[in-house]
Chains A and B, each alone.
Chain A
Amino acid sequence: MCEAAGGVMSGHEHLAQALAECGRDGYTGELRVHGTPGGTFHFGDGRVVAVETPGAPGPEALLLRSGRVSGEQWAELVRESGGSRWPATALIAHGYAGAAQLRVVCALALHDAAFAMAAGRVDGCERVASAELFAQVPLGEPPLRLLQDATRRLSALAGLPHPVHPDRERPVPAGTGPGSTALQRELLTHADGRCTARDLAFRVGRGVYTVAVEVARMLDEGLLVCTAAPVPLPVRTLPDGHALQPRKPSQAEPPPPPAYGDLPRRKPGSFFRLRNGTANGTAK
């Protein structure tokens, strides 16, 4: 919050003012938004060219979670692009996405991230100069248009019969049906009472606004319900004779280095395995 003529500005008014000033000044650099979920608007000549926030999946998460690109393929694309955070040229060159398709994904992610930040709490904004411009959309969006779109989406969500906040409700399936669309079926699979709409958006690789609206609809249709109390968290008593002990410093000598020869191949997953993984390391 900050003081303004005529009263105290809310966090969102502060965000609107900071965005407007960046646009008016033709600012190039980062505008960091402090709060929950918070995030960063990246500006180029007064236009927003990328937005990063923990509150919404970015283009990378959307591509990876949708299965369009695997984690290994992404790592290879980044290597090929000299460590670039956003290997757009390589993505197109390898045929993982068309240029137009990628522009659409990036534009959707940009608006979704602005929506997630506008839906959350804004404690303050700070300009930070950056050595290198991070851009995911070539031309960029006027910052106030982006904020107006976020406000319109917030109003639309709030107008639904069972509105949800992207980062609050943690629904569970009501057990009344399997869902009529692929997205509904996916959401029913992942809604375990631990995930908010934002968490579900990451799990299914869709925009947080899209998922929040769908969750609201499913609550209205009786496919999902919000339980009043969270699932109890099991805390165990250590077995008899096993009190917490300070760890013992390891005295073991390191194993001798192997004899030089051909490099052995890595064998994944031999000792421990999480329940959701498989022996070849692929997680669900």
Chain B
Amino acid sequence: MMELFLTVFSAAFFVTVIRTTTPLLLATLGGLIADLGGALNVALEGMMLIGCLTAVIVSVYAPWYVAVLAGLGAGALLGLIMAFFAFRLKADIILVGFAINILAAGGTVFALALATGGDKGTSINLQSKAIPAVDLSFLSGIPVVGPTLSAFLSGHSVLSWLAAILVFAVWYFLYRTPWGLWLRGVGEYPAAPEAAGIPVNKIRTWSLIVSGALAGLGGAQLAMFNYVGFTRDMTAGRGFIALGAVLLGARHPVGALLAALLFGAFEALAVVMPGLFNDIPAELIRAIPFVVTIAALVLFSIRAQRALALRGVK
């Protein structure tokens, strides 16, 4: 037990949490934007997975940042496709989302086999690149707090810093700009913005594009930093956890950050725990984030209902 505490409160564990949180946070922000626009994006998982593979394959031939942009672009394109089917062709958005997930699960394996010349499991024989970590070790020069600061802040992915900035950016966009007002209006009561001359489906299309782009960015982080290379089904339900995190975070960007951190922490725990407890099966530990998702959503729902009752909302 002592060992666990020491691990959890170490700088190395913090860095791991940030690493596991980043893809989740990016996908959660993506889920949040689509959800607030009223277009529930159940395809986050598939968009992330395709983002992973695209980033990995492009990184073989191009610099890392081009690969990251390619992952982002792949997600955005999927968002656009989803919007086309859902809004132009009037297909059910949930079904379109699942179609994309299924396409991603099978399509990535197929594309992987083509790219690797037959390997259907991993991209191990592709020379893919990694996203560089931001080295802040110069901070250790600061007296007293320097070394600690350096240990905590150094070594994070560029995308982790970007994700942190994006939390603020998304908040500012949603609650301080007219377009954020439009997006939230479209999601809550589309008849109102429609009557005000705001193009509802255009807004929703953009929300899905941005949502897909963020999921694709999360995928790039996953396949070019958390792991370097692609493995089939490597997103392992993160897209669905992100959907849960949107609700758990009370559909607010700061809440999304906290929820993503919670799930990221448990995932990190699942990473470090097998080394500490040999007698607990690894499968059980890997199930922790999912159990936490369910428990957290139940707790949150109860809390929300109590809060509504207290305020006497009819």
Report if A and B associate in a common complex: no
Question: Interface residues, chain A, CB within 8 Å of chain B?
Answer: none
